[in-house]
Amino acid sequence: MNGVKKGVGGTLKYASLVLGAVLAMLPLVLIITGSFKTDQEFLSTGPFKAPASWTNFSNYATAFTEGGMLRAFGNTIIIFTVAIIGTIFIGAAAAYALDRFTFFGRKAVLGLFLLATLVPAVTTQVATFQIIKALGLYNTQGALILLFTGTDIVSIYIFVQFMRSIPRSLDEAAKMDGAGHVRIFLRIIVPNLKPAIATVVIIKGIAIYNEFYMPFLYLTDPEKRPISTTLFAFKGPYGSQWEVISAGIVITIIPILLLFLFLQKYIYNGFTSGATK
């Protein structure tokens, strides 16, 4: 923009922002309008034609009941709740041991965690699958819970980094009062990790909610599967009923949209804090 007058530059600036926003939102908007159309309407009218009735929620009803989305939300909540509690305790326990103690093998353990961040989960599932099968967890929600809890190294690092900012004088004081390590961990460390826990809950919550690969591989039972694979299954029976698929998509996006609107700051921070110092 060298030498361009401010007025022209300003117009260009806003024009490109509008264009970017339209490109980002247009495919989504067409799904929303489509979700209010009847099947006849969807086939006969163009994608930009507004639906005849904005209060036609019949596709949403179909998606929720016949499409099994209500059950899918329940399953996602169960998997998320157990996995997140597990992640918090595992992450906090590992961080407590690594930050507050000097012991033989500490460097090796840190190295193991660091090295594991380089192993992309997509590559190892061929072999992980055999372990899940051997544990008898195939086609159970336990498989997803175990994998979400046991392979989340990023969360451990968030906890380790945050642990450094909790003053050691707090644990020392508790120790003086005769508290044991478990007590210090539960009463001092975990409560003081709250901001890190919030970050992990948000980032991991979004990740679990959006995860497709793991439930696709490990949980095929329609009764037990979470939201992603339930929506994916819409492709079969509703393959030609795009109005129902559209409603399913909108239902899937709404919780994330609400989360984003209310927790914007935390979400931006969560995704960038890991990447930049």
Partner 1 sequence: MANVTGVVPTPAKNAGDVRSRAARLIKPGGTRGGRRRSLTPYLFLVIPVGLLVLLTYVPVANMFFYSITDWDGLDKTKNVIGFDNYVSVFTEPDNLRVFVVSLYYFAGSFVQMALALYFATLLSFKVRFKNLWKGFLFFPYLINGVAIGLIFLNFVKPGGGLDSTLMALGLDSLVKQWTGDPDVINYTLAGVSVWRYMGLNFVMFLGAIQSVPRDIYEAADLDGATRWHQFRHIILPSIRPIVGLSFILAISGSLSVFEIPYIMTGGANGSETFVIRTVRMAFVNNKVGLASAMAVVLLIIVLLVTWLQRRLVPDEEVDIV
Token pair, residue 259, equals 């989360």
Among 78, 82, 93, 201, indicate the residue that binds partner 1 (CB under 8 A).
93
Question: Does the protein bind partner 1 through residue 26 (CB under 8 A)?
Answer: yes
Instruction: Report d(CA 165, CA 163) in Å as an integer.
Output: 5
Question: Does the protein bind partner 1 through residue 275 (CB under 8 A)?
Answer: yes
Question: Does the protein bind partner 1 through residue 192 (CB under 8 A)?
Answer: no
Considering only CA atoms, which of 76, 64, 92, 88 is closest in space to residue 206? 76
Contact string 56-85 vs partner 1 (x = CB under 8 A): ------------------------------
Of 58-66, 77-85, 162-170, 250-258, the window that binds partner 1 (rule: CB under 8 A) is 250-258
Residues 156-175 that bind partner 1 (CB under 8 A): 156-157, 175
Question: Does the protein bind partner 1 through residue 36 (CB under 8 A)?
Answer: no
Instruction: Using CB under 8 A, count the residues that bind partner 1.
Output: 101
Question: Does the protein bind partner 1 through residue 199 (CB under 8 A)?
Answer: no
133-167 burial, b at 16+ Cβ within 10 Å, e below that, comes to eeeebbebbbbbbbbbbeebbbbbbbbbebbeebe
Of 51-59, 64-72, 191-199, 242-250, the window that binds partner 1 (rule: CB under 8 A) is 242-250
22-45 burial, b at 16+ Cβ within 10 Å, e below that, comes to eeeeeeeeebebbbbbbeebbeeb
